[in-house]
């Protein structure tokens, strides 16, 4: 038997001390929904990306771990947009299981990355764009409930080297 657990008094919910105010709970809830949205967006933007795919696993694992921590309807981990986020993850993975679409999608990113490299060598800036299907997924998902958090463009994976001034 764990002696620490035996030392903690068992209180019913109404007897629990008010540690976090209602306002603080609301702020935490908003931040959690925003966190879910950002994690979901990052998953979709990195999944099957030629250079960033490894990051998608971390995003998916984080979303799944929140599901594991959720233990009841009053749990702080019971986040409003989590079920829709997990649906988006599953649907995007399913979509990319289709060989024809996956090939077209990876070709799209290969072209975007080669354009970025080519323009960088010419000292020009390349403004990458999302694949149209990813734009559609973002527009239609109920998991992405904060428009101000939607990405304006894809992650840029190339290293940006800027010359340093003499005093920097």
Note the pLDDT tens digit of each residue in 5-43.
455 455 445 554 578 788 888 999 999 999 999 999 999
Residue 17, CA distances (Å) to 8, 58, 87 in order: 14, 35, 36
What is the per-residue pLDDT for 162?
A: 52
Q: Per-residue pLDDT averaged across 85-97, rounded?
A: 98
Token pair 């009053």 is found at 74
Q: At what angle do helices 132-140 and 82-95 cross, to 10 degrees?
A: 160
pLDDT band at 77 (very low <50, low <70, confident <90, very high): confident
Q: Which residues contact 117 (CB under 8 A, 6 or more apart)?
A: 158
Write the DSSP string, 6-40. HHSPP--GGGS---S-HHHHHHHHHHHHHHHHHHH
What is the per-residue pLDDT for 68?
A: 87
What mean pLDDT, rounded, does the chain reach? 85
Size of the chain in residues: 168
Write the DSSP string, 116-131. HHHHHHTT--------
As given in the structure block, the two tokens for residue 33 are 């929904």
Q: Read off the pTM.
A: 0.79
Cα gap 46→130, rounded to integer Å: 11
Cα 125 to chain center, whole Å? Answer: 26
User: Which tops the pLDDT comparison, 3 or 140?
Assistant: 140
The answer to whether 70 and 82 have CB atoms below 8 angstroms apart is yes
Delimit the domains of the chain by residue range: 25-149
What is the per-residue pLDDT for 2?
A: 42
């Amino acid at each position: 038997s764990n002696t620490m657990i035996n030392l903690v008094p068992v209180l019913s919910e109404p007897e629990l001390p008010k540690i976090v105010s209602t306002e603080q709970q609301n702020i935490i809830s908003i931040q959690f929904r925003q966190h879910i949205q950002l994690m979901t967006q990052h998953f979709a933007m990195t999944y099957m990306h030629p250079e960033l795919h490894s990051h998608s696993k971390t995003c998916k694992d984080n979303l799944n771990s929140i599901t594991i921590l959720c233990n009841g309807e009053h749990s702080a981990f019971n986040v409003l947009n989590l079920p829709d986020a997990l649906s988006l993850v599953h649907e995007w993975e399913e979509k990319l299981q289709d060989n024809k679409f996956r090939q077209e999608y990876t070709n799209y990113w290969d072209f975007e990355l080669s354009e970025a490299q080519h323009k960088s060598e010419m000292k020009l800036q390349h403004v990458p764009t999302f694949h149209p299907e990813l734009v559609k997924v973002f527009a239609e998902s109920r998991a992405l409930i904060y428009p101000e958090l939607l990405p304006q463009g894809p992650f840029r994976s190339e290293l940006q080297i800027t010359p340093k001034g003499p005093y920097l």
